[in-house]
Amino acid sequence: MKGFMRYELKNGVEYASVYTAKRIEGRKINEVKYLGKVIDKTNGIFVNRKRGVFSFSIEAGYGEDVPEVSIADPRIERMILDFGDSFFIGKILEECGMEDVLRRVFPGRIQSLLALLMFKIAGNHSNSHAQDWWEGSYARVLFPKAKLQSQRISELLRELGEEEFQRSFFAAYLSSMRTERPKHSVLIDSTGLPNDIHFPLTAVNTHNGVTSQEVRLILVLDKTTKKPLFFRYVAGNIVDVTTLRTTIDELKLMGVEVDFAILDAGYYCEDNIMELQESHISYLTRLRPNLTLYKELVREHVDDLEHAKYMTKYRDRLIHIKRVEVSLFDATAYAYIAMDFDRRCDEIKKYAVAALDDKNITDLEIDAVIKSKGFFAMISSEAIDPKEILPLYYTRQAIEQVFDFAKNSVDLIPLRVHGEEAFRGHLMLSFIASVVFIAFNQRLDGTRFNAGGAAHVLRNLKCKVYDKSALVLEPNKKMNDIAKHLKIKIPRVIDL
C-alpha cells in the first residue's frame, strides 16, 4: 500500500487518517480512511468505535496483536462512564466463584468473555450492541483488551462451543459445587428453543400441544441451592422420556452423584423408573392423566378424597391429598392422589357449559367426566408427609425460573448463530450468565428489586476517569439500597 499518515489535534487529543492514491481510468483518486484516536504513534496503535483498539501501518495494513492499553492512558480522551452495573456484576462474578473458574479454564480471551458476560447480565440485548455498551461502560476500564465486535464475538462463541473447553469448564465448576454437597438432589426439565437454523439439531417437536421447529435444551438444577449444575441439548424431535438415562449418566461421569430427582411428567416411563431404582436414586414425578395407573388411582380413591382428614393448604389453595402404597415395577412406591378444590370447580364449570350444548353426550357420561375433574397424582419412591409433597414437587418452579431468566434476561433466544459449534458456545455463554444472574437475584431475595431491575438502576451510577484513578459520582437512594442488600460498598475513588 502506498500512501501517508495525517495527524491532527482536536481538544488536546490526536487523531489519525491514512491517505492513499489510486488511478482509475487514468485519473488520480485520493482515498481517505479514518483511523481514530492515536494511542501509540511509534507502534501504530489506534482506537475507534468500529474496531476498538488495533494496530495499523502503511506497509502491513491492519494488525490484530496489540499491547494492553488502559483507558486511563493519558493519550486517550477522558470520559464519564456508566459505572454501577459493571462494577456490581463484577463483584457478583468474583464472589460467586465464576470469575475464578473462567480465569482457570479460559485464560486466552478472558477479558472479552468477562466483558461479554457483564453485557449479557446487564440487559437483554443483541450481541451487535456489545461494543457500544463496552465503550460507554466501566467494563472498558476493567477489561481494556476486550474485543466485542460482532466478528470477534462469533469467534469467541465458537471457542466456547469446543468440547475441550466445555469439559474443562464443568470439571472446574462442578468441583466447586461438590465442596458444598457431596451428593445432589436435582431438578431435571427441558425447554424448546425454536429456531430456523439449518442443521441436524433443528427438528419438529410437539410439546404440551404446541408444535414448533426447535432444539430441546435439558437443564439440571441443585434442588437445595437452586444453582444450575449442567445442561445438554438434543434434537427437537427427541422426546423427554428418552433423555433421562443419558443425562444422569453424563452427570455421573463428571463426578456428580445424584441421590434424589424431581422430574416433570414427561420423564415417567417404566424404563426410567426401573433405572432410577437400580441406581438407588429416589424420585418424585407427576403422572400424566392418560396413564392407566393415574386412571386407576383416581377411580379407586375419588369417593373418599374429600374427607377432612385429607385436607391441607398450599399457599392460598385448598388441597385434598392422600398417600397410598403401590407396587411399581416390582418395587414399593407411594402414590399421592390430590384434588384442587378451586381447580375442580373451574374445570367442572367449563366442561359442563360445553357439555350441555352437546346433544350427543348423555347425563351418565357427563357425570363420569365431572367426577374426575380437578384431580392430579404424583408418584415417589419415598413415603413423604402428604402436607410436604406439594412444596417439595413445586421446587420444580426454580428450574422454570431459570428458563425464564435465560430466555428473557440473558438473551438465550432468539438464536442468531450459524453452525453447531457457535450454537454450543451460545448455550454455554447463556448457562454461565444464568448462573451469575441467579446468584445476583438470590442476593436480592426479599427486596423489591430483582437482578435485571437492579442492573438498570445501577447503570445510572457514573464515574469520571482520570489519569490514574476513577471518581465515582454520588449514588441515589435506590442505588444505596441495592448496595446495602448486596453487602457491597460503593467506592468513592478507585485507583487504576
Give yes or no: residues 404 and 422 share one domain.
no
DSSP 137: B
Burial class (CB in 10 A: 0-12, 13-18, 19+), 244: buried
Give yes or no: residues 387 and 424 share one domain.
no
**Residue 179 belongs to a domain:** no
Do you know the residue count of the chain?
Answer: 496
Q: Please report the pLDDT score of residue 388 as a whole number.
A: 94
Give yes or no: residues 295 and 401 share one domain.
yes
Final residue before a domain boundary, out of 63, 97, 112: 63
Report how many domains make up the chain: 3
DSSP 262: E
Give yes or no: residues 402 and 302 share one domain.
yes
Q: Please report the pLDDT score of residue 271 as a whole number.
A: 95
Give yes or no: residues 113 and 153 share one domain.
yes
Final residue before a domain boundary, out of 408, 435, 454: 408
Q: Which residues contact 119 (CB under 8 A, 6 or more apart)?
A: 125, 129, 130, 133, 134, 139, 148
**Residue 90 belongs to a domain:** yes
257-263 and 183-194 strand pairing:
parallel
Give yes or no: residues 13 and 32 share one domain.
yes
Final residue before a domain boundary, out of 63, 93, 114: 63
Q: How far apart are CA 39 and CA 193, in angstroms?
A: 44
Domain housing 145: 79-160+418-495
The C-alpha cell at 236 is 427437537
**Residue 329 belongs to a domain:** yes
Give yes or no: residues 403 and 374 share one domain.
yes
Cβ atoms of residues 396 and 373 within 8 Å? no
The closest alpha carbon to 449, from 486, 482, 476, belongs to 482
Give yes or no: residues 50 and 86 share one domain.
no
Q: Please report the pLDDT score of residue 74 as a whole number.
A: 43
Q: How far apart are CA 456 and CA 443, in angstroms?
A: 16
Q: Which residues contact 363 (CB under 8 A, 6 or more apart)?
A: none
**Residue 24 belongs to a domain:** yes
Give yes or no: residues 299 and 353 share one domain.
yes
Burial class (CB in 10 A: 0-12, 13-18, 19+), 312: middle
**Residue 436 belongs to a domain:** yes
Give yes or no: residues 299 and 321 share one domain.
yes
The C-alpha cell at 289 is 392423566
Q: Which residues contact 52 (CB under 8 A, 6 or more apart)?
A: 131, 146, 147, 148, 149
Question: What is the SS3 assignment for 365?
Answer: helix
This prediction has a pTM of: 0.80
**Residue 315 belongs to a domain:** yes
**Residue 44 belongs to a domain:** yes
Q: Please report the pLDDT score of residue 190 as a whole number.
A: 93
**Residue 139 belongs to a domain:** yes
Q: What is the pLDDT along the chain (496 residues), one digit of tens a residue?
A: 567 888 887 766 788 988 877 766 667 777 888 888 888 888 888 888 777 778 888 888 887 656 555 444 443 444 789 999 999 999 999 999 999 999 999 998 999 999 999 999 998 678 888 998 998 999 999 999 999 988 899 999 999 999 999 999 999 999 887 656 678 899 999 999 988 788 888 888 876 677 888 999 999 999 998 999 999 999 999 999 999 999 999 999 998 999 999 999 999 999 999 999 999 999 999 999 999 999 999 999 988 888 899 999 988 889 999 999 999 999 999 999 999 988 888 989 998 888 888 888 888 888 888 888 889 999 999 999 999 999 999 999 999 989 888 888 787 777 777 778 889 999 999 999 999 999 999 999 989 999 999 999 999 999 999 878 899 999 999 999 999 999 999 999 999 8
**What long-range pairs does 483-492 form, CB within 8 A, spacing at least 24?**
483/88, 485/443, 485/444, 485/447, 485/449, 486/88, 486/91, 486/92, 486/443, 486/444, 487/443, 488/88, 488/91, 490/84, 490/461
